[in-house]
Structure 1
Amino acid sequence: MSAFKKIAACALVVGGVGVAGPLAAQESPTIVTVVKVTGENWFKRMEEGVVAYDKENADVNASQVGPAKADAAQQGRLIEDLIAKKVDAIAVVPMDPSALEGVFKRAMKRGIKVITHEADNLKNTQVDIEAFDNTAFGAHFNERLSECMGHTGKWTSFVGSLGSLTHVQWADGGAEYAKQFPGMELVSPKNESFNDANKAYDKAKELLRRYPDIKGFQGGAAIDVIGIGRAVEEAGLNGKVCVVGLGLPQDTGRYLESGAVQSISFWDPKDAGFVMNKVAKMVIDGVEFTEGMDLGVPGYNKIHIKKGPGEGVILVGQAWVDVDKSNYKDYPF
């Protein structure tokens, strides 16, 4: 909490009889970001955005929490705790959006504002924020993968989990794109890594044994390319097997350098964390979102608005970045 916020809190305590009501109404709203898992570098980077928003906005208390492992049930329990604490808004990156519909509905009934990210199928959210069109992002992965593969050969896809909506959308987008090339053969699609690089590594090793002629891997979770790249490198297949997917530059750098991974794409989690909190405050303040609105955050300068499946809206940005061996050092995270 900033010094200003501490002073404001003290003022509420010592303000005296007769002004308690008006002062209480001025208490800073609390926004809590709930991520898929604590400790993963993607969400460490996201927390930088949450902290930056908190520091830049003295009238808001913003923080981030997450479960110890990527598990929808654990994430749900954290949200239940926040409902009990009567926070003003939650900004959630759901592990499994459908598994959290009930808890989001309860939060909204209690007057808590619900903002989500990577969950455009949710009914019980006021605003879902997407960094880009997810089907197009998956197709873009496969465009790079199929080009690396010479548009021919066996390939597979990874997801954090089958409940991780955006990962599934990317895998499906990639599969649809690959259909234009008769020589591309999708095998064992949507392998689950559960946001664990070691699990991705073990699965990639298994697939390399099962399909010794496999030529391509499309990763979904931010750590998939790390595990897959390690398996490819250990098998001595650098440059012979193509690996693309979501990732962070500094996590993936060594595999980009060795040729075990060809390219990654991402959106900056720091910007996503910041914009989720900014949108949460806008919802608290009753701000109306309009087509083409500039949210003042890179990649979200001209948002597209879609009607969500429930009463809420979906805000779509243009925030993806492509990185390979030639430029990953330009991004210090």
Structure 2
Amino acid sequence: MSKLLGAAAVSVSMLAAPALADDTPTIGVVVKVGGIPWFNAMEQGIEEAGDKLGVDAFMVGPTSADPALQVRAIEDLIARGVDVIGVVPNDAQVLEPVLKRAMDAGIKVITHESEASQNKDFNFELVSAENFGKAHADMFAKATGCEGSYAVYVGGLTVPAHNAWADAAVTRLEEKCPDMKQAADRFGVAESVDDSRTTTLDLLRANEDFAGVMAFGSQGPIGAARAVQERGLEGEVAVVGLFSAGQGRRLVHSDALTGGFVWSPIEAGKAFVELGTMLVMGDTVQDGDDVPVLGTVEVDGKNIYANKPLELGKDSVDGLSELGL
């Protein structure tokens, strides 16, 4: 786990990394927030791939999901002169100027969960936003029987991937369950267990017909499920979304957390390093290529799509937890 400096919002390991040969690629990956299970697993993948490929690869974990901290971390990486910057944006628009500065400095830029980012060499996704959203909506429709009101949580109202997944899920749910309505506007609470829990408790109090939550952000399903558990509504109020299997498995088995879909953050970490190394070596990725970690991919402009969703449910969550997901 990265040690964090609150003021600089970058990992100590980055600043203290040993000097390596000039021809050794250096890859720094800035994630949304450090210290939570999802990004701890991603860091594992980054380090494993770095060791395998013989590159200097590390994760930078800001102390909170604040886009300004990501900007500062990227500025630090530019000053260091890394070869590749990877980022999982909290706000794609806020990062555009600093990512442009990185590219102008000759640094390769790879984003993840940010198809709309402009200043990048590639963005990669382990499952398309549309298919990811649809899968959650289908699970939610089955769990609720298409009855009652519901809420949608994202990590932040400017987080690109979370909102793309949510948009796809809502569109699908409107098609399958036209009588279901949202109890309130979208909530940007899904990167906080406490905020998701409090919001869910408020919604349960305010809406007698409240049927559940679709949460896009790894802490949202956990907080919502804890609220359901507190109210003794396990199996009656649905909670679906992406979450760390290790963090959520007990809630799944208690019926407080219905389930969801996820991809491996370990594999995402490895993909940052594999793609970064390819770019440094002058390679590129084309539609239909078989790419390490990602498998056979579809390429649309600068967006790379794999198809590696993993279902989280009672039959699978323990096995995925044992894999460190």
TM-score with structure 1 length normalisation?
0.89
Count of aligned pairs: 306
Q: Which residue of 1 aligns with 2:4?
A: none
Q: Which residue of 1 aligns with 2:142?
A: 147
Q: In the TM superposition, what is the alpha-carbon distance from 1:74 to its structure 2 partner?
A: 0.6
CA contact (8 A) 1:42 1:269 kept: yes
- Write the distance in 2 (CA, Å) between the matches of 1:48 and 1:188: 37
Q: Which residue of 2 aligns with 1:322?
A: 311
Q: Which residue of 2 aligns with 1:48?
A: 44
Q: In the TM superposition, what is the alpha-carbon distance from 1:132 to its structure 2 partner?
A: 1.4
Are 2:293 and 1:304 aligned? Answer: no
Partner of 1:120: helix, strand, or coil? coil
Higher-Rg member (1/2): 1
Q: In the TM superposition, what is the alpha-carbon distance from 1:326 to its structure 2 partner?
A: 2.1
CA contact (8 A) 2:29 2:87 kept: yes
Q: Which residue of 2 aligns with 1:63?
A: 58
Amino acid at match of 1:321: L
- Write the distance in 2 (CA, Å) between the matches of 1:326 and 1:54: 33
Partner of 1:129: helix, strand, or coil? strand
Which of 21, 28, 34 is matched with 2:24 structurally? 28
- Write the distance in 1 (CA, Å) between the matches of 2:185 and 2:89: 22
Amino acid at match of 1:140: A
- Write the distance in 2 (CA, Å) between the matches of 1:129 and 1:135: 14
- Write the distance in 2 (CA, Å) between the matches of 1:179 and 1:204: 21
- Write the distance in 2 (CA, Å) between the matches of 1:210 and 1:200: 15
Q: Which residue of 1 aligns with 2:241?
A: 245
Q: Which residue of 1 aligns with 2:206?
A: 210
Q: Which residue of 2 aligns with 1:270?
A: 266
Q: Which residue of 2 aligns with 1:73?
A: 68
CA contact (8 A) 2:190 2:216 kept: no
CA contact (8 A) 1:168 1:190 kept: no
Q: In the TM superposition, what is the alpha-carbon distance from 1:182 to its structure 2 partner?
A: 2.4
Q: Which residue of 1 aligns with 2:183?
A: 187
| 1:257-292 CA distance string (max 9 Å, x none) | 111111121100000010111101111111121211
Q: Which residue of 1 aligns with 2:125?
A: 130
Amino acid at match of 2:296: K
Q: In the TM superposition, what is the alpha-carbon distance from 1:187 to its structure 2 partner?
A: 2.2
Amino acid at match of 2:96: E
Partner of 1:73: helix, strand, or coil? helix
Q: In the TM superposition, what is the alpha-carbon distance from 1:213 to its structure 2 partner?
A: 1.7
CA contact (8 A) 1:175 1:186 kept: no
Q: Which residue of 2 aligns with 1:175?
A: 170
| 1:163-218 CA distance string (max 9 Å, x none) | 11111111111110111222222221421116111111111111111112201210
- Write the distance in 2 (CA, Å) between the matches of 1:100 and 1:243: 32
- Write the distance in 1 (CA, Å) between the matches of 2:113 and 2:316: 26
Q: Which residue of 1 aligns with 2:82?
A: 87
Amino acid at match of 1:314: N
CA contact (8 A) 1:30 1:87 kept: yes
> Which deviates more, 65-74 or 284-293?
284-293
Partner of 1:192: helix, strand, or coil? coil
CA contact (8 A) 2:190 2:221 kept: no
Amino acid at match of 1:277: V
| 1:82-121 CA distance string (max 9 Å, x none) | 1111111111111111110000000000111101101100
CA contact (8 A) 1:138 1:170 kept: yes
- Write the distance in 1 (CA, Å) between the matches of 2:180 and 2:131: 19
> Which deviates more, 259-268 or 186-195?
186-195
CA contact (8 A) 1:53 1:278 kept: yes
CA contact (8 A) 1:152 1:182 kept: no
CA RMSD of aligned residues (A): 1.6
Q: How does 1:96-135 map to 2 (within 5 A)?
A: 96-135=91-130
Amino acid at match of 1:271: E
TM-score with structure 2 length normalisation?
0.91
Amino acid at match of 2:136: F
CA contact (8 A) 2:190 2:220 kept: no
Which of 227, 231, 234 is matched with 1:231 structurally? 227
Partner of 1:215: helix, strand, or coil? strand
CA contact (8 A) 2:189 2:196 kept: yes
CA contact (8 A) 1:37 1:67 kept: yes
Partner of 1:55: helix, strand, or coil? helix
CA contact (8 A) 2:216 2:241 kept: yes
CA contact (8 A) 1:70 1:194 kept: no
Q: Which residue of 2 aligns with 1:261?
A: 257
- Write the distance in 2 (CA, Å) between the matches of 1:103 and 1:275: 22
- Write the distance in 2 (CA, Å) between the matches of 1:222 and 1:194: 7
